[in-house]
């Protein structure tokens, strides 16, 4: 059972570079989300989707873009990396509103 798969697991970028964090799930979940985790702040929602073709902003969307062309995939794009975006990023999916989230193992991103 693959569940939620995130790639890469680690990445180092220079300020101003762009990149895409990949997220794929094989559970046919409609709901997908991206979070960032910073020490002492829990998980904060960046963007989310309730189905293919539908995305919306979360709590901290600035500097990030998402798209949802298929049910399975939900990539997160950093447009111009900044040191403040150094964090651990988690992708998650779930079946519906009252259902628990399934998390990937995270991507550890450092911006120099």
| Residues lying near other proteins in the complex (CB under 8 A) | 4, 31-33, 35, 40-45, 48-50, 56, 58, 90, 92, 94, 97-98, 100-106
What are the backbone angles phi and psi of residue 19, rounded to the nearest 5°?
-165, 165
Gap between the Cα atoms of 37 and 89, Å rounded: 6
Cα-based distances in Å from 21 to 84, 90, 106:
17, 10, 10
The residue (of 48 and 64) whose beta carbon lies closer to other proteins is 48
Q: How far is the CB of 48 from other proteins (least distance, A)?
A: 4
User: Among residues 31 and 64, whose Cβ is nearest to other proteins?
Assistant: 31
CB of 101 to other proteins, least distance (A): 7
**CA gap 32, 74 in Å, rounded:** 7
């Amino acid at each position: 059972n693959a569940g939620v798969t995130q790639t890469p697991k680690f990445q180092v970028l220079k300020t101003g570079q762009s990149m895409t964090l990949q997220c794929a799930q094989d559970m046919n979940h409609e709901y997908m989300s991206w979070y960032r985790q910073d020490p002492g702040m829990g998980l904060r929602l960046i963007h989310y989707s309730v189905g293919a073709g539908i995305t919306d902003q979360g709590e901290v969307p600035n500097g990030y873009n998402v798209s949802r062309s298929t049910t399975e995939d939900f990539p997160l794009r950093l447009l111009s990396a900044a040191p403040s975006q150094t964090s651990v990023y988690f992708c998650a999916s779930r079946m519906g509103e009252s259902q628990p989230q399934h998390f990937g193992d995270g991507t550890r991103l450092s911006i120099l």
